[in-house]
Copies of this chain bind each other. A is one copy, B any other.
Amino acid sequence: MADSFAELGFAKLDLSRKDRTGMPETIYCAGKTKEQLAKILKTFAEQKIAVLGTRCSQEQADFVKTEGLVIEYDECSKTLVLKSGTMAHLKGRIAVCTGGTADLPVAEEAARTAEFFGAKVDRFYDVGVAGIHRLFAKLEEIRKAEVIIAVAGMEGALAGVLAGLVEAPVIAVPTSVGYGASFNGLSALLTMLNSCAEGISVVNIDNGFGAAVTACKILRRIK
């Protein structure tokens, strides 16, 4: 393993990751100071390495821009993209579906992560099971995807209903949307883990990023 690292003191940057794993570089911005984030991004920019930042606050993004870095920031999903060179292109499409409008930030984190990794993404928002006719109206389009990401909070039933209707694997993302006995996403998490529909696997609560990475790893199987 001939890896090259940049040692910044507070972090070790992995500069040969894409060569080694084929997956581009990403940064979890939460918990880092805005100065640390800027320093990390500059190091990658100098190496002409494209980077995706997730859980990035507006304040962090603003600071990074004032430091002269050219980034795209999306407020809804709290993602930041530092582009560089030719981006990857993956075969096949990913469908990102949400139960309600409140699940949008997580869905957009998934969608933008997948796009950064080179996937084509179709968005199907607000197709939750409480008004299931909305879902059926979109079903033919959803079925065109090679992988489906189902994002839902509260009861979280969307993933199971979808998996019973499509052939593609479904990656379920529970969200912390809800109140009371939703227990910050626990309800949706348990629902998804217990679905008796076939072909569902689940990621952490609100982890749109993780769902997208798994989906792209699946798309990379399409040779």
- Residues of chain A touching chain B, judged by Cβ–Cβ distance below 8 Å, are 1, 3, 10-12, 14, 21-23, 26, 31-32, 92, 99-102, 104, 126, 128-134, 146-147, 154-157, 160-161, 163-165, 167-169, 171, 174, 176-207, 210-211, 213-214, 217-223
Q: A12-B126, A157-B129, A181-B189 are in contact. Are A146 and B221 (CB under 8 A)?
A: yes
Q: Are B157 and A160 in contact (CB under 8 A)?
A: yes
Q: Which residue from chain B places its CB closest to the CB of A165 in the assembled complex?
A: B132
Q: Are A214 and B201 in contact (CB under 8 A)?
A: yes
A-B contact pairs, 5 of them (CB 8 A): A157-B195, A181-B194, A198-B213, A198-B214, A221-B221
Count the copies.
Answer: 8
Q: Are B198 and A164 in contact (CB under 8 A)?
A: no
Residues of B with C-beta under 8 A to A169? 214, 217-218, 221
Q: What separation, in Å, do the CA atoms of A22 and B134 have in the docked complex?
A: 19
Q: What separation, in Å, do the CA atoms of A220 and B199 have in the docked complex?
A: 12
Q: Are A193 and B186 in contact (CB under 8 A)?
A: no
For A195, give its contact among B155, B171, B202 (CB under 8 Å).
B155
Residues of B with C-beta under 8 A to A21? 167
Residues of B with C-beta under 8 A to A92? 221
Q: Please give the distance in Å from A136's CB to the nearest CB on chain B.
A: 9
Q: Please give the distance in Å from A8's CB to the nearest CB on chain B.
A: 9
